[in-house]
Structure 1
Amino acid sequence: MISSSQALDLIRDRNLQMLTDSCLEGQLSDDATELVRLASRCLQSEPRERPNPKSLVASLTPLQKETEVPSFVLMGIPNSTCCSPLSPLGEACSRRDLTAIHEVLENIGYKDDGMTNELSFQMWTDQMQETLDSKKKGDSAFKQKDFRTTIECYSQFIDVGTMVSPTIFARRGLSYLMNDMPQEALNDAMQAQVISPIWHIASYLQAAALSWTMKHKQH
């Protein structure tokens, strides 16, 4: 049996043959071997060793053979009829309805954001005031659905780096989607989740951005 520490060493050294159960030798298809290889790359400790989302999607797409068959059928899992209904944001993402996503984000505001509690007296400088002005202009542009201005103002806020806000990354990510820039949107959604790992909105936006990325590849 391989211990967890040994498994990490094998992943780091990309020794997939040792990592694979000996009982499965010669039984894994080329696709399965490729999936193990991709998974091991995603688990690398160094960020530069991991695949970026765009290359990962490109690698996984050819491996998806049964696109019309539900996952639970392929995996032999009984289909449960008792499914929890999606939230309004989940429904909007599943429909690729950017207008509805915008409405949800606008209504939520910053209530899930801890940013306003992180200010200190030392941060009230001229630069801080300019940063807050950029945020206010971005908020106004987002409300007015001026998404190019939203990107510009929120980028100014983010570049200063005085405060971090998952909501601003989510709003800029949606603005990128509105401007047909799904890769930038995905990057922002992932950054929002780095800041707030359990924030469900970041996960929904990642799904929406990935959906748009796949849509681009099909055309």
Structure 2
Amino acid sequence: MPHETLAKHLFHWETQPMKWAMRLRVALYLAEALEYCTSKGRALYHDLNAYRIVFDDDANPRLSCFGLMKNSRDGKSYSTNLAFTPPEYLRTGRVTPESVTYSFGTLLLDLLSGKHIPPSHALDLIRDRNLQMLTDSCLEGQFSNDDGTELVRLASRCLQYEPRERPNPRSLVTALIPLQKETEEPSHVLMGMPQGGPAMPLTPLGEACLRMDLTAIHEILEDLAYKDDEGAATELSFHMWTSQMQDTLNSKKKGDVAFRHKEFKTAIDYYTQFIDVGTMVSPTVYARRSLSHLMSDMPQEALDDAVQAQVISPIWHITSYLQASALFALGRENEAHIALKEGSVLEEKKNVTS
């Protein structure tokens, strides 16, 4: 698939953002693909996310086969790299057809907002009728309030806590068809994506990830320190500025010392203490814990942390590189190369801006 993933064109676009009509086209094609999978006895699709949707020669969206669950009679799943998992998966570790609908709802949020929004936060915005905060500002003037409200309503139905209250793929298709507007613009125009162009050379960090040179990655993260946390989503509960806050900061400092001395299991413990308190959010802490997991031969945990760092800071190139390293370690090379390329694009953008 020559035109890469939805994540690339939705979160890391280069020339112009994806248009509203194309986002609706993606939603409908995806719903149709899920309905087709269901009709063929493949209703269980795991890890449905923006990286699973690819674009063909004509830039039409397609659902990749990587998430199809095979040899799984009872729907049991063994891993996930989703940033936001269905409630029932957290309880049972199992994926059901209704779980796939929940993931479809998170994708609708991605299409609406142009970024990763936690479902709980999105539902709060929907309840408060604060749709402006939920919608990508790049889409201003491209759709009517009725169309926007209908897509938000559909997303909220998909994100219901109780699986039985979510629509099935056939219902999703039925709901999305009326939103489609007649347009003669081809998909690549609606996507706002550049055509052609040479491959981007890898930077030293990208090369280190490709070689799986974890020592070199460690040196780069250590030298970077917390410079890229500036401007990231940092949440402080000022009323909690007590001894508990001081303990939290001490956990981070102890984690940093262990990370510097390559005591990675100790670093994981201290960074986990910092993260679990939840009063501050730091993408760098997640990045450092991700590499510590990789150094400790825990690639799935490393991938989870790299994804979480990207949720906090979507344009930070380090998160894509760490995802690539974890995916290489998991043997998922196709996805690793996609993440590696996204990291290169983001790093180039950062260097140009600087």
**Length-normalised TM-score, structure 1:** 0.65
Name the residue aligned to 2:94.
Answer: none
Partner Cα distance (1:185, 1:40) in 2: 23
- Are 1:95 and 2:208 matched, yes or no? no
- Are 1:160 and 2:277 matched, yes or no? yes
> Which of 5, 12, 15 is the matching residue for 2:35?
15
Name the residue aligned to 2:302.
Answer: 185
Contact 1:16 1:36 in 2 (8 A): no
Matches within 5 A, 1:93-172: 93-114=209-230, 118-119=235-236, 121-172=238-289
Cα distance 1:127–1:169, how it changes in 2: closer, same or farther (>3 A)? same
Task: Find the residue that maps to 1:46 and give its secondary structure.
Answer: helix
Structure 1, residues 149-178: CA drift from partner, whole Å, max 9, x if none? 100000000111111111111100100111
Q: Which runs of 4+ in 1 moved over 6 A?
A: 39-42
Partner Cα distance (1:179, 1:131) in 2: 24
> Which of 194, 203, 210 is the matching residue for 2:311?
194
How far is the alpha carbon of 1:85 from its aligned partner? Answer: 2.8
Partner Cα distance (1:148, 1:198) in 2: 28
Partner Cα distance (2:105, 2:238) in 1: 40
| Amino acid aligned to 1:146 | E
How far is the alpha carbon of 1:197 from its aligned partner? Answer: 1.1
Larger RCO: Structure 1 or Structure 2 (Cα < 8 Å, ≥ 6 residues apart)? 2
Cα distance 1:118–1:194, how it changes in 2: closer, same or farther (>3 A)? closer
Task: Find the residue that maps to 1:214 and give its secondary structure.
Answer: coil
Alpha carbon RMSD of aligned pairs, Å? 3.4
How far is the alpha carbon of 1:127 from its aligned partner? Answer: 1.0
Contact 1:88 1:104 in 2 (8 A): no
Contact 2:233 2:313 in 1 (8 A): no
Which protein has the bigger helix share?
A: 1
Cα distance 1:8–1:36, how it changes in 2: closer, same or farther (>3 A)? closer
Partner Cα distance (1:141, 1:47) in 2: 37
Partner Cα distance (1:99, 1:190) in 2: 21
| Amino acid aligned to 2:284 | T
Unaligned runs of 5+ in 2: 1-23, 39-61, 70-81, 83-99, 107-195, 333-354
Contact 2:265 2:292 in 1 (8 A): yes
Cα distance 1:186–1:39, how it changes in 2: closer, same or farther (>3 A)? closer
How far is the alpha carbon of 1:87 from its aligned partner? Answer: 1.7
Task: Find the residue that maps to 1:84 and give its secondary structure.
Answer: coil
Number of aligned residues = 167
Calculate percent identity across the aligned residue pairs.
Answer: 57
How far is the alpha carbon of 1:204 from its aligned partner? Answer: 0.4
- Are 1:85 and 2:201 matched, yes or no? yes
| Amino acid aligned to 1:99 | T
Matches within 5 A, 1:13-52: 14-16=34-36, 36=64, 38=66, 44=100, 46-47=102-103
How far is the alpha carbon of 1:118 from its aligned partner? Answer: 4.6
| Amino acid aligned to 2:103 | P
Partner Cα distance (1:161, 1:104) in 2: 26
Structure 1, residues 48-103: CA drift from partner, whole Å, max 9, x if none? 999xxxxxxxxxxxxxxxxxxxxxxxxxxxx97x5433122111101110000000
